[in-house]
C-alpha cells in the first residue's frame, strides 16, 4: 500500500441498525479493510446497506424476526427448547421465556433475553409466567455466557432494584414505581357464583398516565397469617433485625413465599443429612422425588423438612424477591382522567388442609382498604392497542376477566366517537351470576355503540359452550368483518383459550374463505404480522 495514502477512517454503523455488537464489529472491520486497500474513507453505513452486506458473508443475525416456531405461549418449555435446538444462544434464551410478551419482567421476551445475553440484566428470575422452569433454563443458558449467579451471588433483594442512575421516569417502570390510592371495590359476581371477581377503582398520582390497552403493575404484600406461620416454623422472634428491617416485615413485603425456590432447597441440603439431604438436593435440581414439588410453597417446604432451623438471614437470602403483579386496565383515561380501574379474579385454592391465596388478588379483595395507597406503575402495552384508524372495525374476544381491556377499548372508542364497528365475544360460567358489566354492555348495545355482543356460558346447560364455539357458529359473519379490514383482539388464558380461539379462527378462514388448512394458517399469521391480530394473554 502506498505510504502517501490517508489513514483508515473508522466506520460508524448507526445504533439504529438492528445488529448485534458482533455484527457491528464485523462490519467495521470489513470497511476498515476496504479503506486500507484504496484509501477512501467510509464514515457511515445506512441500515439498508448494512443489511445487504450481512446477507452475504457476515455473521447470521441473531434478532428474532417474529416468525420463529417457538414463539407460541401454549407450547411447554421442553417443546420450545427442542425447536430452538441448534439456534444461537440469544434465541435459546428467548425460547426459554414464557412467550407471552406480558411485560411483567419490565421488557418483552425478545428484549429481556437480549438484555441477559448482552450482560445488561443480571436478574434471571423476572419471567413470572415462566416460573421456575424458565428460571432454571435461563440460568443454565446464562452459564454459557458467564452471566449466571452462583448460590453465593444469587439474585438478592438488593439486586432486584435497578441502579439509581438508570432509573426510568417515576411510575413508568417496576424499578421506579409511583403510588395509587384505592377508591373502591365492587364484586362483579352475583350471589351463587363459584367465582370471586372484583372491580377495583384507583386514584392515580399525577405522574401516572396510561392508554387503553396498557397494564397496571401493583406491588403486593404477603398474607400476615402465612408470614406468622413461617416465623413459627423457623423459630426466631418476629422482630429479629433483617436487612435494615425486621424478619416479619421482610417476609411481609420483600420476598416471595410461593413457590419455594431452588435456592431454598439448596440451603436446606446444607443443614441436613442422609435421605433428607438427597431429597433436598433433588428438589433443588428440579426433580420431584415425592410427586409434590408443584405444590411446595415456602411454608410447605419448611413443613416437609420439620425441625430445621436455618439462620434467618440465610433463609431470607435464599428466597426470591416479591414481584409486582400486572393487570389489564379496564378503563380509558378519556372517560376517567386521573383514575383507573382493574377487573381482578380473586385466587383461592386448596392444597391438602391449607388454603392457598393469590398474594395480590386477595390483598385487593380483603386486606387493602379504600383510602390506602399502593406502589404502582403503568406497563405500556406491547403490540396491544386500538387501530390508529377509528373507522376500522374491531373484534374483541375476552372471556372472564379477559373483558378488561375491551371495556377500556369500548370506553375509548365511545369517547372519541369512533365510527368503526365493535363486536365483543364474552363468556363465563353462568349468565345469571357471572355476566360482568352486564348493564353497561347492554346499554352500549342498545345505543348502537357495541355493534354485536356474542355470549357464551359454560355452565348454563349440559353442554359447555365457550367463546371459540360461538365464533364457529357465526363464522361467516366473522369472516365478513375480517375481509372488511377488522382488527381482532384476544385477551385471557394463554395456555388453553388463546390457542382454542386461534384454532377456531383458522377453521373459519378455511371454511368461509375457501382456503386449505395451510393457506388459512398463513392468512392468520399474516394478520399477526400486519398487527390485525393482537393478544394480551396470561
Q: Which residue has the higher pLDDT, 320 or 145?
A: 320
Question: Does residue 200 carry a pLDDT above 70?
Answer: yes
The winner for highest mean pLDDT among 51-55, 173-177, 485-489 is 485-489
Mean pLDDT of 521-526: 95
| pLDDT value for 126 | 87
What is the distance between the alpha carbons of residues 22 and 27, in angstroms, rounded to a whole number? Answer: 9
Summarize pLDDT for 413-432 with one digit per residue, the tens: 999 999 999 999 999 999 99
Residues β-bridged to residue 216: 327, 378
- DSSP state for residue 41 in the 8-state scheme: -
The winner for highest mean pLDDT among 5-14, 65-74, 225-234 is 225-234
Run of H or E residues at 231: helix 224-234
What is the distance between the alpha carbons of residues 458 and 429, in angstroms, rounded to a whole number? Answer: 5
The confidence band for 359, taking pLDDT boundaries of 50, 70 and 90, is very high
What is the distance between the alpha carbons of residues 71 and 90, in angstroms, rounded to a whole number? Answer: 14
What is the distance between the alpha carbons of residues 433 and 441, in angstroms, rounded to a whole number? Answer: 15
Mean pLDDT of 47-54: 42
Nearest to 31 by CA among 10, 47, 6, 61: 10
Mean pLDDT of 21-47: 42
Mean pLDDT of 276-304: 96
| pLDDT value for 413 | 98
CATH of domain 224-318: 1.20.990.10
Q: CA of 339: how far to CAs of 68, 120, 333, 502, in Å?
A: 39, 35, 7, 34
Q: How far is CA 329 from the centre of its chain?
A: 14
Using the CB atoms, write b or e for 251-261: b if 16+ within 10 Å: bbebbbbbbbb
Strands 348-351 and 354-357: antiparallel
| CB neighbourhood size of 181 (10 A) | 16
What is the distance between the alpha carbons of residues 4 and 2, in angstroms, rounded to a whole number? Answer: 5
Grid cell locating 182: 384505592
CATH of domain 394-537: 3.40.50.80
| pLDDT value for 58 | 35
Q: Which residue has the higher pLDDT, 327 or 47?
A: 327
Nearest to 73 by CA among 468, 511, 497: 497
Entry pTM? 0.83
Would the CATH topology of 224-318 be identical to that of 394-537? no
Nearest to 426 by CA among 441, 414, 413, 415: 441
Number of residues assigned to the chain: 538
% pLDDT > 90, the chain = 68
Q: What are the residue ranges spanned by the domains of the chain?
A: 77-143, 224-318, 394-537
| pLDDT value for 44 | 42
Question: Does residue 85 carry a pLDDT above 70?
Answer: yes
Summarize pLDDT for 138-182 with one digit per residue, the tens: 989 998 886 444 443 344 454 444 444 468 999 999 999 999 999
Question: Does residue 43 carry a pLDDT above 90?
Answer: no
* Residue 157 DSSP SS3: coil
| pLDDT value for 128 | 84
The confidence band for 532, taking pLDDT boundaries of 50, 70 and 90, is very high
Nearest to 230 by CA among 337, 355, 343, 316: 316
Summarize pLDDT for 109-137 with one digit per residue, the tens: 888 998 998 888 888 888 888 888 898 89
**Which range is least confidently modeled, 85-99, 387-401, 443-457?**
85-99
Q: Which residue has the higher pLDDT, 166 or 510?
A: 510
Q: CA of 65: how far to CAs of 91, 246, 462, 494, in Å?
A: 11, 48, 45, 21
What is the distance between the alpha carbons of residues 532 and 393, in angstroms, rounded to a whole number? Answer: 10
The confidence band for 21, taking pLDDT boundaries of 50, 70 and 90, is low
Amino acid at each position: 500500500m502506498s505510504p502517501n495514502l490517508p489513514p483508515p477512517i473508522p466506520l460508524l454503523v448507526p445504533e439504529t441498525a438492528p445488529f448485534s455488537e458482533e455484527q457491528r464489529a464485523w462490519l467495521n472491520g470489513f470497511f476498515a479493510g476496504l479503506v486500507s486497500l484504496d484509501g477512501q474513507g467510509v464514515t457511515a453505513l445506512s441500515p439498508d446497506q448494512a443489511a445487504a452486506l450481512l446477507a452475504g458473508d457476515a455473521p447470521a443475525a441473531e434478532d428474532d424476526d417474529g416468525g420463529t416456531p417457538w414463539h407460541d405461549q401454549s407450547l411447554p418449555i421442553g417443546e420450545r427448547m427442542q425447536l430452538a435446538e441448534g439456534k444461537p444462544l440469544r434465541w435459546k434464551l428467548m425460547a426459554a421465556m414464557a412467550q407471552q410478551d406480558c411485560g411483567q419482567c419490565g421488557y418483552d421476551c425478545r428484549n429481556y433475553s437480549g438484555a441477559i445475553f448482552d450482560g445488561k440484566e443480571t436478574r434471571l428470575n423476572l419471567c413470572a409466567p415462566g416460573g421456575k422452569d424458565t428460571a432454571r433454563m435461563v440460568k443454565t443458558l446464562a452459564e454459557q455466557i458467564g452471566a449466571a449467579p452462583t448460590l453465593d451471588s444469587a439474585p438478592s433483594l438488593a439486586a432486584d432494584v435497578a441502579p439509581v442512575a438508570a432509573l426510568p421516569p417515576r411510575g413508568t417502570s417496576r424499578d421506579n414505581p409511583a403510588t395509587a390510592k384505592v377508591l373502591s371495590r365492587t364484586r362483579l359476581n352475583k350471589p351463587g357464583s363459584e367465582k370471586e371477581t372484583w372491580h377495583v377503582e384507583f386514584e392515580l398520582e399525577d405522574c401516572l398516565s396510561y392508554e387503553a390497552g396498557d397494564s397496571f403493575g401493583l406491588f403486593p404484600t404477603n398474607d400476615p397469617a402465612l408470614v406468622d406461620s413461617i416465623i413459627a416454623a423457623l423459630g426466631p422472634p418476629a422482630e429479629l433485625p433483617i436487612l435494615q428491617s425486621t424478619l416479619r416485615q421482610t417476609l411481609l413485603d420483600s420476598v416471595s413465599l410461593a413457590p419455594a425456590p431452588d435456592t431454598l432447597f439448596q440451603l436446606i441440603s446444607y443443614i441436613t443429612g442422609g435421605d433428607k439431604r438427597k431429597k433436598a438436593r433433588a428438589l433443588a435440581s428440579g426433580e420431584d422425588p415425592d410427586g409434590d414439588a408443584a405444590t411446595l410453597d415456602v411454608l410447605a417446604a419448611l413443613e416437609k423438612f420439620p425441625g430445621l432451623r436455618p439462620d434467618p438471614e440465610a433463609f431470607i437470602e435464599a428466597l426470591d424477591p416479591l414481584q409486582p403483579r400486572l393487570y389489564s386496565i379496564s378503563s380509558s383515561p378519556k372517560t376517567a382522567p386521573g383514575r383507573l380501574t382493574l377487573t381482578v379474579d380473586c385466587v383461592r385454592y386448596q392444597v391438602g388442609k391449607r388454603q392457598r391465596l393469590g398474594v395480590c388478588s386477595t390483598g385487593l379483595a380483603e386486606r387493602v382498604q379504600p383510602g390506602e395507597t399502593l406502589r404502582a406503575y403503568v406497563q405500556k402495552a406491547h403490540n396491544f392497542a386500538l387501530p390508529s384508524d377509528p373507522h376500522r372495525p374491531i373484534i374483541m374476544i375476552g372471556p372472564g376477566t379477559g373483558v378488561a381491556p375491551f371495556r377500556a377499548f369500548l370506553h375509548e372508542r365511545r369517547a372519541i366517537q369512533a365510527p368503526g364497528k365493535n363486536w365483543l365475544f364474552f363468556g363465563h360460567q353462568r349468565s345469571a351470576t357471572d355476566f360482568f358489566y352486564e348493564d353497561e354492555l347492554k346499554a352500549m348495545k342498545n345505543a348502537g355503540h357495541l355493534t354485536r355482543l356474542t355470549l357464551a356460558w359454560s355452565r348454563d346447560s349440559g353442554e359447555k359452550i365457550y367463546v371459540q364455539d360461538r365464533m364457529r357458529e357465526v363464522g361467516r359473519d366473522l369472516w365478513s368483518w375480517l375481509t372488511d379490514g377488522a382488527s381482532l383482539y384476544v385477551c385471557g388464558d394463554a395456555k388453553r383459550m388463546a390457542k382454542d380461539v386461534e384454532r377456531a379462527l383458522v377453521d373459519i378462514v378455511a371454511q368461509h374463505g375457501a382456503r386449505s388448512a395451510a393457506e388459512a394458517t398463513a392468512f392468520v399469521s399474516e394478520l399477526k404480522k400486519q398487527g390485525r391480530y393482537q393478544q394480551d394473554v396470561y
